[in-house]
Amino acid sequence: MRKLLIIGAGKSTASLVRFLAQKSQEQQLEITIADKNLPQAQKIAEISDHLKAESLDIFDVNDREEAVKQADIIVSMLPARFHIEVAKDCLKFEKNMVTASYVSKEMQALDDKVKAKGLTFMNEIGVDPGVDHMSAMQVIDRIKNQGGKMLMFESFTGGLVAPESDDNLWHYKFTWNPRNVVVAGQGGAAKFIQEGKYKYIPYQRLFRRTEFLKVPGYGKFEGIANRNSLQYRDIYGLENIPTLYRGTLRRVGYSKAWNVFVQLGMTEDTYVMENTKEMSYREFVNSFLPYSPSDSVELKLRHNLKIDQDDLIWEKLLELDLFNPDKKIGLKEATPAQALQKILEDKWMLQPNDKDMIVMYHKFGYELKGEKHQIDSTMVSVGEDQTYTAMAKTVGLPVGMATLKILNGEITRSGVLRPIYPDIYNPILKDLEEYDIKFNEQDVEYLGYNVENVN
Amino acid sequence: MRKLLIIGAGKSTASLVRFLAQKSQEQQLEITIADKNLPQAQKIAEISDHLKAESLDIFDVNDREEAVKQADIIVSMLPARFHIEVAKDCLKFEKNMVTASYVSKEMQALDDKVKAKGLTFMNEIGVDPGVDHMSAMQVIDRIKNQGGKMLMFESFTGGLVAPESDDNLWHYKFTWNPRNVVVAGQGGAAKFIQEGKYKYIPYQRLFRRTEFLKVPGYGKFEGIANRNSLQYRDIYGLENIPTLYRGTLRRVGYSKAWNVFVQLGMTEDTYVMENTKEMSYREFVNSFLPYSPSDSVELKLRHNLKIDQDDLIWEKLLELDLFNPDKKIGLKEATPAQALQKILEDKWMLQPNDKDMIVMYHKFGYELKGEKHQIDSTMVSVGEDQTYTAMAKTVGLPVGMATLKILNGEITRSGVLRPIYPDIYNPILKDLEEYDIKFNEQDVEYLGYNVENVN
């Protein structure tokens, strides 16, 4: 029996565990799920007899080291900032490890030592980052191997509500951490490059500078620029690509309405408001509008942001019950972002029967033998229920697959890794197709931007 | 002879020194101007034989202590962050001191020790802070002494170009630190209170939420909310005042045009742009606009920010030569704010014959014997030339007056102080009138905000 230790029983762990449990007999796995919260680990473990739940406080060095020492491979599903502690143990006891998180500076710094011991520390193998890396690199490498030259790479991912559960005007529900959604885009301008020109979008314009995308079978979406589209330029080997853009997907119309919150200052997270415990939703809105006792909060908002009487944005605001004078924020010392999150959670929580959906869209523009081409590649994954969500599946499955492939010696590359190498992404993408996580490629006309001549 | 040490030969020092030099015979003053930059100190000292210039590096502890020890009183005209070093020496050698800067936490922490030694550390006795404190507290104390209850205090200050030198469409030139103007309002929402309701304006709305004010003899201005209007609530004894608002003055129309820069992201100071050394003004603007080779930068900007063909904002942008493809930013690794400052400095520097102007506007609303009243108080000071600017005068004169009054035992209050006490502000405000820095009070109808009833 091979011992597999999963540390952290969070939202994505259930899908990972189900996948591994199904393979446990054939693969001779003894799987332990360790979490500080034992009942949470037990709940995940109860689906199979091959699973064991254990209490583990990762800040107890002895317990943590003991757990790592006994395992053959370790999967850290902890919050990203805690991986490094596990990684140090893995290095000490010479164990391979897998995480779905971004490679931190501290993690990257271990690379030489990890390589020297011939270990594999696989990271960024969830959905975003993860499936995005693999699906993008597969096409980029193919184009390069054919002798093509990359002209454009645009990539969009969105965690959304599935069409069958899409029953609000925003066409959005929280399928992951609500806080990240409320503060998304803050902390600096979005930077990208188009036709060799660097472009910057400040936060206050971000939600008005979207572009539309059509996903076959799923209709139209809009893409909002991510903060740093250039982050993976070198890692993807796209140093000289003239157009590189990464974004987040929402349903059409979301951003224009969300911009109301941005403009009013409701998404700010840098200061605490007065009296938020007793503040009504209506008072919250009024805090961001001029004082004028002869006018309603509604008209002040409409006037201030120039929202026409027949604008659907207005219906979206009403749907959130934003002007309710009786509902209270009820949070002590809340920032505007925290108060807004509270209001949105009333309406945007996934209901017991709701399903979520992950949508990914890549555009690859390239030149081959003097001709320009474009491939559009899309992937849609719909969740099964509230446990086996699309988010959990698209994170958990690639993590599980990578773990098995490392354990079985199918992945042998050593170092602190991302899944950007053919020997990693090819077998995993193939396996993911069995779980209906597959990309639909289309050759489309390359339009680029240089439609005319000027400027 | 009494020995007076002025440390720091900056912009405001000339006015301060001229005032003191004129008094030096009658007051038996021996005045030393000390600065790291000896020629700069010498230039200021050359106006009178009673003045001595000295080289002093304030980071040389021995030299600094020696200089402080020999003086009877010390005026620190250094950048604000350096006062604390001088303050510690003053405490050690039991000398009084004066600064025009905000009381820092470190300075405030010395209060007990300063009091115990019976010393006076006078701060915030320039123009803003300084003249604003004194002129406001004089009226507030008078109202309170009459038995009135404060309902409203709004206070605005602006450093502007004098009408006779006002020759651009923005009606603005840099009269002080340009950088502060470019980044003004950043770093959190503007917070104030109106009729008992807390209000918050985020940076992206700040320049669209202005209010107009008319200064007798000088026409209309607009007020932009300061970041924290409530900073002096307790210090002014206005704990329960329902309306408290502080702002910055500009000429009407400035803010609406400035908002173009804010919206485009040109005022951001948190990241460095690519290639700013070689970047043209036109390319700088284009960085913040969508890529579209078939459209001009001009039309993209107009369309993006919905600027009508006949909007004066457009003429303001053209006047700055914003779309020039030949002029270069010429700064290595500049932030957007630094690049914008460069563009503005081309046009907004005070010319040799230009004069500046300080404008201050206070509104005091109060209730007395069941009736509501309002006093509007305004002050305008116009500079003489580029040396004795209004800014330098309104900073340097109160500093000089306070220094003499402390030296002469007319001000005896001890501690780390602001000029908010009648024994300080009354004599200084009276002296300032001789220099034409005087407030014009008008009783006006109290309108408040509760014109009707609702909301």
The domain spanning residue A174 has which CATH number?
3.30.360.10
Pairing of strands B51-55, B29-35: parallel
Chain B neighbors of A198, CB-CB under 8 A: 273-275, 287
Sign of CA dihedral A98, A101, A106, A111: positive
Q: Does A292 reach chain B within 8 Å, measured CB to CB?
A: yes
Domain edge (last residue) among A122, A145, A165: A122
Tell me the two tokens of residue A376.
Answer: 């559009």
* A412 in a structural domain: no
Whole-number Å distance between alpha carbons of A133 and A123: 11
Tokens 């109060």 correspond to what residue?
B366
| Beta carbons of B273 and A200 less than 8 Å apart | yes
A233 and chain B: CB distance < 8 Å anywhere? Answer: no
Q: Are residues A248 and A218 in the same domain?
A: yes
**B261: Cβ–Cβ under 8 A, 6 or more apart, which residues?**
B267, B340
Residues of A in contact with B265 (CB under 8 A): 189, 200-202, 204-205
Q: How much is the average pLDDT of A267-288?
A: 97
Q: Which domain holds residue B189?
A: 131-257+352-387+437-444
B325 in contact with chain A, both atoms CB, cutoff 8 A? no
In this predicted structure, what is the pLDDT of residue A10? 85
Give the rounded distance of the alpha carbon of B88 from its chain centre. Answer: 26
Same domain (yes/no): B206, B65: no
Residue at which a domain ends, from B84, B104, B122: B122
Q: Does B59 touch chain A (CB under 8 A)?
A: no
Task: Identify whether the C-beta of residue B77 lies closer than 8 Å to the C-beta of residue B13.
Answer: yes
Contact of A183 with chain B, judged by CB distance below 8 Å, is answered with: no
Helix boundaries (H) for B222-368: 254-264, 281-286, 297-304, 312-319, 336-348
Predicted confidence (pLDDT) at residue B451 exceeds the cutoff of 50? no
Q: Does B269 touch chain A (CB under 8 A)?
A: no
- d(CA A58, CA B235) in angstroms, rounded, equals 49
d(CA B208, CA B202): 10
Runs of H (alpha helix) within A5-82: 13-27, 38-45, 61-70
CB A129 within 8 A of CB A420: no
d(CA A291, CA A278): 19
Q: If DSSP codes are grouped into helix, strand and coil, which group holds residue B148?
A: coil
d(Cα B416, Cα B107) in Å, to the nearest integer?
Answer: 7
Q: In A, which residues are within 8 Å of B280 by CB distance?
A: none
Is residue B212 less than 8 Å (CB to CB) from chain A? no
Q: Dump pLDDT digits (tens) for A18-39.
A: 999 999 999 999 999 999 999 9
CA distances from residue A348 to A169, A202, B78, B210 in whole angstroms, order as listed: 11, 27, 54, 35
Closest CB from A187, A265, A451 relative to B200 = A265
Find out whether A113 and A441 touch, Cβ atoms under 8 Å: no
Provide the token pair at B288.
Answer: 């913040």
pLDDT tens, position by position, A323-347: 999 999 999 999 999 999 999 999 9
Interface test with B, best of A205, A264, A267, A451 (most B CBs within 10 A): A205
> What would the two tokens of residue B282 be?
């036109």
Closest-CA distance, B270 to chain A, in angstroms, reads 7
Residue B123 · residue B111 · CB < 8 Å: no
Chain B nearest-CA distance from A161, in A, is 30
Average pLDDT over every residue of A380-398: 95
Q: At what angle do helices A131-145 and A422-434 cross, to 10 degrees?
A: 120
Strand order in the sheet with B73-76: B51-55, B29-35, B2-7, B73-76, B96-99, B120-122, B415-417
Q: Do B247 and B369 have their domain in common?
A: yes
A158 and A106 in a single domain? The answer is no
Mean pLDDT throughout A416-439?
Answer: 97
pLDDT in tens, B91-133: 999 999 999 999 999 999 999 999 999 999 999 999 999 999 9
Do B205 and B294 have their domain in common?
Answer: no
Are the beta carbons of B296 and A455 separated by less than 8 Å? yes
**Would the CB atoms of A295 and B264 count as touching at under 8 Å?**
no
Tens-place pLDDT, residues A218-228: 999 999 999 98
- The reply to whether B418 falls in a domain is no
Rounded CA separation A376/A139 (Å): 10
Does B195 contact A291 at a Cβ distance shorter than 8 Å? yes
Cβ contacts of B245 within 8 Å, gap of 6 or more = B153, B154, B155, B192, B193, B194, B225, B229
Please check whether residue B395 is in contact with residue B76, taking contact to mean a CB–CB distance below 8 angstroms. Answer: no
Q: Are residues A156 and A228 in the same domain?
A: yes
Per-residue pLDDT, A163: 97
Angle at B161 between CA B158 and CA B163, to 5 degrees: 110
Q: Chain B contacts of A448, Cβ < 8 Å?
A: none
Instruction: Give the one of A205, A270, A297 whose C-beta lies nearest to B188's C-beta.
Output: A270
Within-domain flag for B431: no
Query: Is the minimum CB–CB distance between A209 and chain B shorter than 8 Å?
Result: yes
First to last CA, chain B: 66
> Can you tell me the mean pLDDT for B259-264?
97
Rounded Cα distance, B126 and B203, in Å? 27
CATH number of the domain that residue A26 is part of: 3.40.50.720
Residue B145: other Cβ atoms inside 10 A: 9
Do A265 and B450 lie within an 8 Å CB cutoff? no
Paired with A228 in beta bridges are A191
CA distances from A14 to A9, A28, A64, A190, A390 (A): 8, 19, 22, 34, 12
Output the pLDDT for position A418: 97
Are B260 and B313 within 8 A, CB to CB? yes
Closest CA to A357 of A213, A173, A126: A173
Cα radius of gyration (chain A): 24
Residues of A in contact with B333 (CB under 8 A): none
Token pair recorded at residue A84 = 């490094």
Least Cα distance to B337 among B269, B252, B249, B421 occurs for B269
Cα–Cα nearest to A244, from A364, A334, A329: A364
Token pair 């104030």 is found at B192
Confidence of residue B454 (pLDDT cuts 50, 70, 90): very low
Q: Say if A424 falls within a structural domain.
A: no
Q: Does the beta-carbon distance from A189 to B453 stay under 8 Å?
A: no
The two structure tokens encoding residue A194: 């188009």
Contacts of B303 in chain A (CB under 8 A): none
Residues in chain A closer than 8 A to B204 (CB atoms): 203-204, 262-263, 265
Å between A304 CA and nearest CA of chain B: 9
Q: Residue A450's pLDDT is what?
A: 56
Amino acid A50: pLDDT: 84
User: What is the average pLDDT value for chain A, to the nearest integer?
Assistant: 95
Show residues of chain B in contact with A452, CB under 8 Å.
293-294
CA B183-B189-B192 angle, to 5 degrees, is 115
pLDDT for B10: 85
**CA B339-B342-B345 angle, 5° bins:** 150
pLDDT digits (tens, 9 = 90+) for B355-381: 999 999 999 999 999 999 999 999 999
Q: How many CB pairs under 8 A join A and B?
A: 135
Contacts of B288 in chain A (CB under 8 A): 199-202
Q: Which of A198, A268, A450 minimises the CB distance to B189?
A: A268
Asked if B365 and B382 sit in the same domain, the reply is yes
DSSP-assigned letter for residue B272: P
For residue B60, what pLDDT is reported? 94
End-to-end CA distance of chain A: 66
Residue B385 has a pLDDT of: 92
User: What does DSSP assign to residue A349?
Assistant: B
Banded model confidence at residue B200, pLDDT cuts 50, 70, 90: very high
Q: Tell me what pLDDT residue A176 has.
A: 87
Q: State which of B321, B348, B375 marks the end of a domain.
A: B348
Rounded Cα–Cα distance for residues B12 and B392 (Å): 4
The residue in chain A having the minimum alpha-carbon distance to the alpha carbon of residue B276 is A198
Q: Which of residues 245-264 of B touch A (CB under 8 A)?
A: 262-264
pLDDT of residue A455: 43
In a domain, A330, yes or no: yes
C-alpha–C-alpha distance, residues B130 and B252, integer Å:
25
Q: Are residues A105 and A165 in the same domain?
A: no
Report pLDDT for B420.
98
Residue B453 has pLDDT above 50, yes or no: no
CB distance from B378 to chain A under 8 Å? no
Q: Which residues fall within 8 angstroms of residue B98, CB to CB, at 6 or more apart? A: B73, B74, B75, B76, B121, B122, B123, B125, B399, B402, B403, B406
- Shared domain for B236 and B280, answered yes or no, is no
Which residues of chain B lie closer than 8 angstroms to A199, CB-CB?
287-291
Note whether A290 contacts B191, CB cutoff 8 Å: no
Task: Write the CATH number for A337.
Answer: 1.10.1870
Predicted pLDDT at B355: 97
Higher-pLDDT residue of A206 and B228 is A206
Q: How many structural domains is chain B composed of?
A: 3
Nearest-angstrom CA–CA distance, B339 and B329: 6
What is the predicted pLDDT for the residue at B450?
56
Same domain, B366 and B231: yes
B4 SS3 class: strand
Q: Are strands A2-7 and A29-35 parallel, antiparallel or unpaired?
A: parallel
Amino acid at B55: S
Which residues of chain A have a CB within 8 Å of the CB of B291? 194-195, 197, 199, 449
Contacting residues of B for A294, CB less than 8 Å apart: 451-455
Percent of chain A with pLDDT over 70: 98
CA A188 to chain centre: 19
Among positive and negative, which fits the CA dihedral B179, B180, B182, B186?
positive
Within-domain flag for B396: no
Q: Do residues B198 and B271 both lie within one domain?
A: no
Tell me, yes or no, whether B451 lies in a domain.
Answer: no
User: CA of B208: which chain A residue's CA is closest?
Assistant: A304
Instruction: Tell me the nearest-neighbour CA distance from B92 into chain A, angstroms.
Output: 39
Which residue, B144, B251, B142, B232, is CA-closest to B193? B232
**Per-residue pLDDT at A451 exceeds 50:** no
Task: Round to whole Å and give the CA distance between B410 and B61.
Answer: 32
CA nearest B199 in A: which residue? A287
**8 Å CB contact of B455 and A293:** yes
Q: Say if the Cβ atoms of B455 and A189 lie within 8 Å.
A: no
Cβ atoms of B304 and B259 closer than 8 Å: no
Tell me the pLDDT of chain B averaged across its residues. Answer: 95
CA distance B109 to A294: 46
Strand spans (E) along B23-78:
29-35, 51-55, 73-76
Tokens of A176: 């992951």
For the segment A178-211, what is each residue's pLDDT rounded down to a tens digit?
999 999 999 889 999 999 999 999 999 999 999 9
Whole-number Cα distances in Å, A371 to A243, A366, B129: 17, 8, 66
Residue B455 pLDDT greater than 60, yes or no: no
Q: Do A70 and A103 lie in a common domain? A: yes
Domain annotation covers residue B153: yes
The answer to whether residue B326 neighbours chain A at the CB level (below 8 Å) is no
Interchain proximity A287–B189, CB inside 8 Å: no
Whether residues B454 and A293 touch (CB distance < 8 A) is answered with yes
Other C-beta atoms lying within 10 Å of the C-beta of residue B134: 25
Range in B202-211, B295-304, B445-454 the model is least confident about = B445-454
Global pTM? 0.91
DSSP 8-state assignment for residue A123: -
Residues A97 and A121 sit within 8 Å (Cβ to Cβ)? yes
Query: At A417, phi and psi to the nearest 5?
Result: -115, 155
pLDDT at A49: 85
Chain B residues with CB-CB distance to A187 below 8 A: 270
Reported as type and span, the H/E element at residue B35 is strand B29-35
Of B263, B273, B449, the CB nearest to A204: B263
Judging contacts by C-beta atoms under 8 Å, the chain B residues touching residue A274 are 198
Residues of A in contact with B151 (CB under 8 A): none
Give me the percent of chain B exceeding a pLDDT of 90.
94
